[in-house]
Structure 1
Amino acid sequence: METMPFGCGMMGMTGGPLTLCEGLQRLKDEHPPLRKQMEELFKEAQAIGDDAGVEDWEAPLRALEEKVKIFVAELDPHSKREEDVLFPLMAKHIGREMGPIAVMEYEHEQAKTRLTGFLATMASLTGPIKADTARRIAGEVAEAVQILFDHFMKEENVLFPMAERILSDAEKEELLAGVKATG
């Protein structure tokens, strides 16, 4: 495999695997446990409102709410590391107004909006909750998770490899320090 002077492996001309520097690898390694939670949230959100025998969906929504709170508490620090450290470093090279960084920030915003909207709705909700209302409320979680699944794929397949190629050795050290400081 070819390597570049930045000290981290690069994808060779043959399309071989890309080795990420430590800071990028740490961000990528945060995805699998988050993805596992996302799969569970999606499955649970999709099931809400589907059982015709259930007349009041408040309890299942409250159970989902607790899982969403745990997920958000774990997602937020990950997002913050990207928004406060990785994105600004990359923006120096590729800009922030259009392109990958703008897309990543937009997707962060969209997922957060749906998750905080769900939590805000739950905070003001009083039962009993009928199936159609429950489906609509839980749909915010399912939509957020779909956004995040796509977002993680873009980061892993586009953003992180791009960062590996464009960040200097010093920037990669700055990234690692920032990821460690906020992790």
Structure 2
Amino acid sequence: MNQNSPCSAGFGDPKSINYCAPLKQLIDEHPSLLAKMAEFNQMVQAFETSEEIEDWNDTINQLHEKISAFIAELEPHSNREEDVLFEMMVKYLGREGGPIAVMEYEHNTAKLNLKEFMEKATAIKEDNKTLSRAEALDVYRHLKIVYLTLTDHFMKEENILFPMAEQMLSDAEKQDLADQFSQMA
């Protein structure tokens, strides 16, 4: 069997794989993103269970700041995956019904919910409308979806997609991956 075949035997322990530089870069970007997600998720949980919040608008504003910083870090990461890595892997795996379809669906789910949160947070600020607890909880829902989707997504990437990419991509493709990543800086 071709060693670059996605159908090769198991990948072994993903942590023991010697990844090429661009895949290592993607992996190394996860801890910071996960930390930001944990932080905004903890804020959401604290707000949801608090009996003392009087200004629900303030909670949305606090989260808006956190999410803006998160998006600024997430976008270049997801662009490298979507525009370069996924496109390289599509020729081996196809786009329909396989790992790339799942990865793209999860990216779209996260992006849609981040967009919904940001639009609602901006509208709340612009309209100067006083939020109720129920309205704030409805806005938080988008961040809970982002958190659940991306924590699971990163695990799939680290345990399945990236090991698969390391195994299936040729040295020339890995160099092309590195070149394209450097142009995206």
Aligned to 1:30: 29
Unaligned residue ranges in structure 1 (runs of 5+): 6-10
Indicate the percent of aligned positions where both proteins have the same amino acid: 43
Aligned to 1:100: 99
In 2, Cα distance between equivalents of 1:15 and 1:54: 49
Aligned to 1:162: 164
Distance 1:77 1:13, change over 3 A: closer
Give the Å deviation of 1:18. Answer: 1.4
Contact 1:46/1:139, CA 8 A, preserved across alignment: no
Contact 1:23/1:179, CA 8 A, preserved across alignment: yes
Contact 1:50/1:131, CA 8 A, preserved across alignment: no
Kindly indicate whether structure 1 or structure 2 has the higher relative contact order, using CA contacts under 8 Å at least 6 residues apart: 2
Kindly report structure 1 stretches of 4+ aligned residues shifted beyond 6 Å: 11-14
The alignment partner of 1:53 has SS state of coil
Contact 2:11/2:163, CA 8 A, preserved across alignment: no
Contact 2:117/2:143, CA 8 A, preserved across alignment: yes
**1:55-75, CA deviations, whole angstroms, 9 ceiling, x for partnerless residues?**
321111101001101100110
Aligned to 1:8: none
Structure with bigger helix share is 2
Bigger mean CA offset, 122-131 vs 58-67: 122-131
Question: One-letter code of the match for 1:141?
Answer: L
In 2, Cα distance between equivalents of 1:121 and 1:78: 24
The TM-score with structure 2 as length reference comes to: 0.88
In 2, Cα distance between equivalents of 1:157 and 1:73: 25
1:19-98 equivalences in 2 (<5 Å): 19-98=18-97
In 1, Cα distance between equivalents of 2:86 and 2:42: 31
> Root-mean-square deviation (CA), in Å?
1.9
Aligned counterpart for 2:12 among listed residues 15, 18, 30: 15
Contact 1:35/1:149, CA 8 A, preserved across alignment: yes
Distance 1:168 1:127, change over 3 A: same
Question: One-letter code of the match for 1:167?
Answer: L
Give the Å deviation of 1:51. Answer: 2.0
Aligned counterpart for 2:135 among listed residues 133, 139, 142: 133
